[in-house]
Amino acid sequence: MKRVFLALLLIALPLAAQQEVSPLVNNVKPAPATEQKLFVLKYADPMALSELLKVFHAGIVPNRDMRVLAVDATAPTMAAIEDAIKRLDVPSAAPANVDLTVYLVVGHEGENPAGSAPVPKELDSVVTQLKNAFAFKSYSLLDALELRTRTGQQASTTSSGGAVQSDGGGTQPVITQLRIGAAGIGSDGATIHINNLNANIRMPVRNGNGFSDQNLGLSTDIDIKEGQRVVIGRLGISKDQALFLVMTVKIVP
């Protein structure tokens, strides 16, 4: 992935030298003329390729169903984008499956609430790091989401497996939506780049004698090595609780 970005930057750098100074009209520089072009792709995924081509700061609209990119750019930028597409739209290794697991771990200032689930043993090292970094006394598992995707493709999943105990012995469900823009494997074969990971959690929070829904969200890109367990976000629930998102990934041939 780093080599691809480096190649794109090397293509883009000469564009700065090709810009001509435009006369000012009423102290306003006129917008440069642009041209439009459709690129029909043979091999590359339009969504993943459009993310890479953002380095050119052009108007790019991908369409996965038609396998095309609609580009609006100045002539020098269009030439650079066309050259980049020729280099990137080539046969490559077969897409790989990537399994993601995201754990929702809650930190508590006091003891774990009654009925809460223990954190899995495989996350013991993560909990140790959290205890060293934060003042929470205990940790429990709220939910765990599993998602399989293929490199270069979007994927999403929704879970209602998490729940918060109410005083009457019942539970309030926690709804979690997880979505990624694309996953790619680095040149080392072990680093997975997750592009545009979005997590949205509808969390019931005690409000007097009842509950009110609190919407928590996270949006990020992340590089993670296969087998690592990484805290990808911390979200505040209340003054004495916080939600930590822990991710692990696995490449499946």
pLDDT tens string 36-89: 999 999 888 888 899 989 999 999 999 999 999 999 999 999 999 999 999 888
CATH of the domain at 73: 3.30.1370.120
Do 84 and 108 lie in one domain? The reply is: no
Residues 18 and 48 in one domain: yes
Measured distance CA(231)–CA(212) in Å, rounded: 27
Q: How confident is the model at residue 105 (pLDDT cuts 50, 70, 90)?
A: very high
Mean pLDDT value of segment 139-164: 92
**179: exposed, middle or buried (C-beta count within 10 Å: 0-12, 13-18, 19+)?**
middle
Residue with the larger pLDDT of the pair 86 and 26: 86
Q: Do residue 196 and residue 129 come from a single domain? A: yes
Same structural domain, 66 and 101: no
User: Which of 63, 88, 113 is the endpoint of a domain?
Assistant: 88
For residue 238, the model assigns a pLDDT of 87
Within this chain, do residues 84 and 126 fall inside the same structural domain, yes or no?
Answer: no
Over residues 141-153, mean pLDDT: 92
Residue 180 pLDDT > 80: yes
* Higher pLDDT pick, 210 / 217: 217
Considering 55, 88, 121, which residue would you say is the last residue of a domain?
88
Claim to verify: residue 119 and residue 68 sit in the same structural domain:
no
* 159 and 76 inside one domain: no
Domain stops at, among 57, 88, 119? 88
Distances (CA, A) of 136 to 81, 112, 201: 50, 10, 21
Structural contact between residues 88 and 80, judged by C-beta atoms closer than 8 angstroms: no
The verdict on 178 and 230 lying in the same domain is: yes
Percent of the chain with pLDDT over 90: 58
Q: Residue 2: is its pLDDT beyond 70? A: no
Total of domains in the chain: 2
Which is more confidently placed, 1 or 107? 107
What integer is the mean pLDDT of 12-36? 65
Domain check: are 137 and 22 in the same one? no
- Strand, coil or helix: what is 227? coil
Residues 12 and 55 in one domain: yes
CA distance 214 to 248: 26
Residues 6+ apart with CB under 8 A from 246: 102, 103, 105, 123, 126, 229, 230, 231, 232
Q: What is the mean pLDDT of residues 158-179?
A: 85
Return the minimum-mean-pLDDT range out of 13-17, 27-31, 166-170. Answer: 13-17
**Given pLDDT bands bounded at 50, 70 and 90, which one contains residue 23?**
low
The range of the structural domain enclosing residue 60 comes to 2-88
